[in-house]
Structure 1
């Protein structure tokens, strides 16, 4: 994104391919400088069982607001059964904007149709996926094809979502 924006700006200043290339190079350098000096938070899409685990989504949103959080919630699961006909398109768009998909596994998540579709969309778009266990005191079956499962700890979140 930084390369594209830099290229557009460079082309506006010095029209032509040279301006675009120089601008693109400058855009990537500026992004790296910003990342080095200011914490740039990773954009996370949260996938969860809307019908059973909305409280878990609220917990992760709360953790994203902590001052030392390395991640930001850019979007979260859409209710698959919602009357919106373009649900899949909205999910695709949201997942493409994310740098990682975080699946929160509850007791029924492994068979939640919306979560399964979101995982498939992430796979189609090569967006990395990680799963965290939503409940310590319940059996949480991992979601098929959604990657490795981790314990939900603050230290794990900071490592996985950095």
Structure 2
């Protein structure tokens, strides 16, 4: 059974990486599905409530980490919501040749994992 994933990413800097990750969900041996509920601009109004509702229907949250993630308040809030909802999550380096950083709400024990197909499949399966 494929796990449903919520992908949290810095909309100002890492949308291309999110698109690539979403594309991997379409591979024949992908362990996860992804319905693109992301907006093409910043959410307005009670956007946190909208994110909470979207997270109700997922099995795992993937936090894409880029070089500016520490200043991405949306990612910071989405990670906090994932923890509040007790959703399993992991941090994934969006780029292999850049210094990817954690969101401010990450725990000191949260590790940023290298983005490889094997790592991704293992992380989705809960191997962390």
Gapped regions of structure 2 (runs ≥ 5):
none
Call closer, same or farther: CA 1:129–1:77 in 2, change over 3 Å.
farther
Call closer, same or farther: CA 1:86–1:93 in 2, change over 3 Å.
same
TM-score between the two structures when normalised by the length of structure 1 = 0.69
Question: 1:74: how far off?
Answer: 3.6
SS at 1:115's partner residue? helix
Matched, 1:85 2:48: no
Matched, 1:48 2:18: no
The whole-number CA distance in structure 1 between the counterparts of 2:55 and 2:22 is 16
Pick aligned residue for 1:110 from 66, 70, 83: 70
Aligned residues: 122
Match for residue 59 of structure 1? Answer: 20
Aligned partners of 1:96 and 1:127 also within 8 Å: no
Q: Which runs of 4+ in 1 moved over 6 A?
A: none
Call closer, same or farther: CA 1:134–1:41 in 2, change over 3 Å.
same
The whole-number CA distance in structure 1 between the counterparts of 2:41 and 2:85 is 19
The whole-number CA distance in structure 2 between the counterparts of 1:77 and 1:140 is 21
CA RMSD of aligned residues (A): 1.7
Higher relative contact order (CA 8 A, sep 6+): 2
TM-score between the two structures when normalised by the length of structure 2 = 0.87
The whole-number CA distance in structure 2 between the counterparts of 1:77 and 1:108 is 19
Aligned partners of 1:107 and 1:140 also within 8 Å: yes
Larger Rg computed on CA atoms: 1
Give the alignment of 1:1-80 within 5 angstroms.
40-75=1-36, 77-78=38-39
Call closer, same or farther: CA 1:124–1:75 in 2, change over 3 Å.
farther
